[in-house]
Chains A and B, each alone.
Chain A
């Protein structure tokens, strides 16, 4: 079974530009989560999408946005890039496990965004 995939692996942008990151969840998973891991910092929750809707977002400005497509893949868009947006962006997916609703999340390899 294929895991969570993300593209591109690396992305280099200039301040003020926009970045688009993509994520394909594990087949059958309907929820997609985005996390940011800046250098030397922990993982910070960004966004959660389920069934095409944004369900929750972390403490990030509105220039961080995204969407989920009918096939459950997802895009993360970061507008007006700032130097501090340089980080590893991780996507995870989860499945409703039915009886025991624990929703463990499975992570992709990440996209490393560098803003110069």
Chain B
């Protein structure tokens, strides 16, 4: 699976959009971009995934660049409850291995 690079921490004001970047310059054509988050001491929560098109769901939007070498997770109106560690994971969709490889992630602190 491709390696990802994320900033270790970010701050965001409550009510503003939080834009979390992820670099995955070695991504292959059949690898998906996944985002999870982990609120303190809880299990990770699936947020969104995409292959090459931008995706949106009730939680967030995922913007993937045309060359697929980077992506941005957007939380449109951040709340205090969005304070968490956000993980960007790149992996092949249909693989016999299936394990998720979590890096260090980005610690997002939403400020009141």
Contact = CB atoms under 8 A, between A and B. Distances in A.
A90 B43 contact: yes
Interface residues of B, number: 21
Nearest to A91: B43
Interface string B22-38: 00000000001010000
Interface stretch (A11-19, A76-84, A106-114): A106-114
A43 B41 CA distance: 12
A105 B104 contact: no
A102 B99 contact: no
A8 interface: no
B47 to A, nearest CB: 9
A43 B102 contact: yes
A56 B41 contact: no
B101 A45 contact: yes
Given A43-B102, A56-B99, A101 B43 contact: no
23 contacts: A31-B98, A33-B98, A42-B102, A42-B104, A42-B105, A43-B100, A45-B100, A48-B98, A56-B99, A58-B99, A90-B43, A92-B44, A100-B93, A101-B93, A102-B93, A102-B94, A103-B94, A105-B100, A108-B43, A109-B42, A109-B43, A110-B42, A110-B43
Interface of A: 4, 31, 33, 35, 42-43, 45, 48, 55-56, 58, 88, 90, 92, 94, 100-110, 112
Interface of B: 32, 34, 41-46, 49, 93-94, 96-105
